[in-house]
């Protein structure tokens, strides 16, 4: 969307209005943006996934007790990061995450939740018909792949460890992290081979 109501233009207009009225300083807004770009967000989750792909011992710790394992690699604490459970996608089983009650979400490792995650239609339908919802989102899974839906709550947040794409054996951990998407860590997408 590029018209006058695009989210970027609305955000810019809101920032200008707030700063002109002295309600918030520009450096405060810049600080929040920088934090979510570098300290909180999908980059953290991507680093966790990449480490698990290259380090079997780390992967075992991550799957056994994710919260402390995440903190080894990326900032994972604070609100919505206290108790995270990681489940691994395999060729036989695919995991997808939802919060049926509201929009519980592991912000420290995935950043801000996408609008579709909070949408009542996604929250209701992915539990009843996950294969159809995933297909609508562009992820067609073969019928022999079992789909398991995990419901996040105030007590536990879920993170999907996506399958490592074929042809990535020669990539570094940093290069692997660059392939990982937020949607793959929620389970609504797979990671494409480079």
Q: Which two tokens mark 96?
A: 């997808």
**What pLDDT is attached to residue 113?**
86
Q: Which two tokens mark 42?
A: 């999908």
CA–CA separation, 180 and 191 (whole Å)? 6
Question: Residue 38 gets which letter from DSSP?
Answer: I
Contacts of 163 (CB under 8 A, 6+ apart): 89, 90, 91, 190, 191
Q: Which of 102, 115, 152, 153 is catalytic?
A: 102
**What pLDDT is attached to residue 80?**
54
Burial of residue 130 (number of CB atoms within 10 Å: 0-12, 13-18, 19+): buried
Segment 39-52, tens digit of pLDDT: 667 889 999 999 99
Active site residue 153: no
For the question of whether the overall pTM of this predicted structure is more than 0.85, the answer is: no
Segment 87-100, tens digit of pLDDT: 999 999 999 999 99
Active site residue 152: no
Residues of the chain with confidence (pLDDT) below 50: 1-2
Active site residue 38: no
Q: Which of 5, 6, 38, 103 is catalytic?
A: 103
């Amino acid at each position: 969307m590029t018209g006058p109501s695009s989210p970027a233009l609305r955000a810019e207009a809101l920032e200008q209005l707030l700063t002109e009225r002295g309600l918030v300083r520009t450096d405060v807004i810049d600080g929040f943006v920088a934090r979510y770009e570098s300290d909180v967000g999908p980059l953290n989750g991507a680093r966790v996934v990449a480490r698990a792909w290259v380090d079997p011992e780390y992967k075992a710790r991550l799957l056994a007790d994710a919260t402390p394992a995440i903190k080894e690699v990326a900032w994972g604490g604070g609100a919505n990061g206290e108790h995270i459970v990681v489940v691994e996608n395999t060729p036989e089983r695919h995991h997808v995450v939802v919060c049926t009650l509201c929009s519980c979400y592991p912000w420290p490792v995935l950043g801000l939740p996408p609008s579709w995650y909070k949408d009542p239609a996604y929250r209701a339908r992915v539990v009843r018909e996950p294969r159809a919802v995933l297909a609508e989102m562009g992820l067609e899974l073969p019928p022999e792949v079992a789909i398991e839906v995990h419901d996040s709550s105030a007590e536990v947040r879920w993170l999907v460890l996506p399958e490592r794409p074929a042809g990535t054996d020669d990539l570094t951990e940093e290069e692997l992290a660059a392939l990982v998407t937020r949607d793959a860590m929620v389970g609504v997408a797979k990671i494409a081979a480079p």
